[in-house]
Amino acid sequence: MSSGADRLELRHAVERHYDSLAFLYRLFWGEHVHHGLWPVRGGSPKDAQVRLVSHLAQRAGIAGGERVLDVGCGYGAAARWLAANHECCVIGITISRAQARQARRRNRRDGRDDAVAIIRGDAAALPVCERRFDIVWVIECLEHLAEKGEFIRRATRTLVPGGRLALCSWQDGGRGDGLVEAVCDAFLCPSLATAAEYRAWCETAGLEIRCQEDLTARVLDTWKVLVRRVSRPWARPLRWLVGHDVRRFVDGFPIIARAYETGAMTYGLLVARQPA
């Protein structure tokens, strides 16, 4: 178990990462800071990212009007999509000041202030609001947490009876060849969990597993696109205009692509339900 000092150091490192790289994230990812779900061929990166959000919403059984806690909400793109397409009322949490500021600005521009609230907070210290939310929504945030099982326990307590935890995450494929460790070093992840560990944590917290999917083959093109983008002539000078930490982050793009291709990493979706 990590110490309190280790957790605080990790929190500050993740916060600095997303604050200092806000420009690069929006340049290379757009407003959705997560993988895309790709069709057999073709399609744009943005369409693929929206497709992932839509797929998770469908698997979570979102019918309309749910109260959603979006943990690790980034620039609030998924929160606004849920509000626009399903009339959800969303509270988004991000550790980054830069992301929170830009998310609130975009909410105002899109007229979503009434449905989407963005607060700055630490997912590792998720405040417990007993039985408040229909959905706890987490796309690619738990990778940065040392105590993933503790997060799931806390998240479970925020769900109303029948509420669902809906998450997508980078996962350890169990090969043990060093690629997962290299990915964790590049992307500020203390560890990656296996699909079995996520399932066990949910069951220990009292949740019922509704569905669990391996989406690796359908998200892999995300990293192929990113590797191509950082290899373009206009992007190469950026490597020498930024610090070591940013170069290490960009150098991680082909590493994570290789980790997926070899099975060292997988990309998983899980939906679990609070019993009624």
Q: What are the start-end ranges of the H helices in the chain? A: 4-20, 22-28, 45-59, 77-86, 97-110, 148-158, 179-186, 195-204, 216-219, 221-231, 238-241, 244-262
Q: For residue 251, what is the domain's CATH number?
A: 3.40.50.150
- pLDDT band (50, 70, 90) for residue 155: very high
Residue 95 pLDDT > 90: yes
Q: How far apart are CA 211 and CA 2, in angstroms?
A: 30
Residue 166 pLDDT > 90: yes
For 76, phi then psi, to 5°, come to 80, 15
Residue ranges making up the domain that contains 155: 4-273
- pLDDT band (50, 70, 90) for residue 241: low
Q: What is the DSSP letter of 207?
A: P
Per-residue pLDDT averaged across 208-221, rounded?
96
**Do the Cβ atoms of 38 and 218 come closer than 8 Å?**
yes
Q: How far apart are CA 269 and CA 3, in angstroms?
A: 29
Residue 248 pLDDT > 80: no
**Do the Cβ atoms of 120 and 94 come closer than 8 Å?**
yes
The pLDDT, as a whole number, for residue 239 is: 57
Report the chain's mean pLDDT, rounded to a whole number.
Answer: 89
Residue 196 pLDDT > 90: yes
Per-residue pLDDT averaged across 97-102, rounded?
93
Q: For tokens 């210290």, what's the residue?
A: 125
The pLDDT, as a whole number, for residue 3 is: 61
Among 13-17, 110-114, 192-196, 252-256, the range scoring the smallest mean pLDDT is 13-17
Please report, rounded to a whole number, the percentage of residues in the chain having pLDDT higher than 90: 67
The pLDDT, as a whole number, for residue 1 is: 45
Amino acid at 77: A
Total count of domains within the chain: 1
Q: Which of the pair, 177 or 135, is modelled with greater confidence?
A: 135
pTM across the whole model: 0.92
Per-residue pLDDT averaged across 125-145, rounded?
92
**Do the Cβ atoms of 135 and 66 come closer than 8 Å?**
yes
The pLDDT, as a whole number, for residue 15 is: 85
